[in-house]
Amino acid sequence: MARKAREARKERIPAARYGIAEWFGKDIGLLTPEERQTFGRLAARQDQENSLTGAPVCPFLSTLIPGARCNKASGVCSVRKYAAEGSMVAGDKVVTMCPSRFIQSVEPGKTLFSWIAEKMLDTAKVTVVKETPFLRKIADVQRPTDIAEDMAAEAKEEEKQAGRIDWILVNPETVSAGELEWCAVETQALYFSGARMRLEFDAYAHAPSDLLFPTGKRRPDYRSSGPKRLWPQLDVKVPVLRSWGKKIVVVVDRFFYSNMNRLADPSPRARSDKERRENADVAWFIVDYDEHLHLTAGEVVFTSLDGSRIALNATEPLSKADFTQSLKNVIADESRTKKVFKVSE
């Protein structure tokens, strides 16, 4: 019996794992074995050197900045699940890993930014401004004048690091008007936790090959990307933008959106998206991937800052009764010797 159990364990099929979906802007499934090896060597070298040396042109960012090269070290645009034999899991959601991946047409003749501009600024013609400083450092203490030059350089660098808005969309017809019409756009990709991607780079770099089953176990880390990364940005930016009479757009993919709680509608009686927009703080634009890994437009959801916080948190407190019962169960479990301690006088 023991031998049969061991043999059954050996024959057990490994669970699906996340691996590369798009690499340096290319669908990994459409690359030749030789191209996968070339990308594996490039990605491994970039990872080892912590540099972008040799990066190819990014097919997404270059639609705005001609000739722009991939600015994500090792070039993984997105990931998806693979079955044990190395085939991609059909129907499973592709997960965006690089914010530049969002810069693509969402339907023929309509870019992501023109879609947003139509909904937020009532125009398809838009001027796009990249990475605009939003926060700046302030000093509470006067510094000695003899280190003024060093402090000026430090302050300049800190201001760059302090906070930026990813993109600003401006209605060009209002540039010479008294009030400039614009909205802010944040593009939020996901991080992952688990085994490093370097394991995949080395595997593909070793020799020309068909698609490989991912070497390491990893998963998209929604908690680090949403509540820990995106929420603090909204918490700082939205109140200021609201006082200026401006809106902020958040672009996320379907996988990210599916991990959130429902976004509450702050204007349930509104008769149009324009009315909802006027009463909202944040507009969520959801995108997805079709079977050819082309970006597609999904829902647009208007909500408040607090509604965004609740949705991003994706948790709620237990009821007092449930918490109390859970606590009693832990105390009564005599096997929890490393969790429950009885202190006597």
Using CA atoms, how far apart are residues 36 and 22, in angstroms rounded to an integer?
11
- Give the per-residue pLDDT at 5: 52
Distance set, CA 24 to CA 61, 78, 118, 195, 318 (Å): 11, 10, 30, 20, 44
- Give the per-residue pLDDT at 4: 53
- Asked whether the predicted pLDDT for residue 193 surpasses 80, the reply is yes
CA-closest candidate to residue 79, choices 239, 210, 221: 221
Kindly report, residue by residue over 200-220, the tens digit of the pLDDT: 999 999 999 999 999 889 999
Please tell me the pTM assigned to this model.
0.83
CA-closest candidate to residue 96, choices 189, 230, 194, 214: 189
Domain limits, the chain: 12-313
Token representation of residue 80 = 């998806």
- Give the per-residue pLDDT at 139: 58
For 111-122, b/e burial (b = at least 16 CB within 10 A) is bbbbbbbebbbe
- Asked whether the predicted pLDDT for residue 317 surpasses 80, the reply is no
Using CA atoms, how far apart are residues 163 and 185, in angstroms rounded to an integer?
14
Q: Are 126 and 114 in contact (CB under 8 A)?
A: yes
298 three-class SS: strand
Kindly report, residue by residue over 248-259, the tens digit of the pLDDT: 999 999 999 999
CA-closest candidate to residue 43, choices 199, 163, 156, 159: 199
- Asked whether the predicted pLDDT for residue 128 surpasses 70, the reply is yes
Q: Are 75 and 59 in contact (CB under 8 A)?
A: no
β-pairing, 95-96 with 76-82? antiparallel
* CA dihedral angle for residue 58, residue 60, residue 64, residue 69, rounded to 10 degrees: -10
- Asked whether the predicted pLDDT for residue 323 surpasses 60, the reply is yes
- Give the per-residue pLDDT at 272: 87
Q: Are 165 and 195 in contact (CB under 8 A)?
A: no
- Give the per-residue pLDDT at 148: 52
- Give the per-residue pLDDT at 160: 46
Kindly report, residue by residue over 61-97, the tens digit of the pLDDT: 999 999 999 999 999 999 999 998 778 888 889 999 9
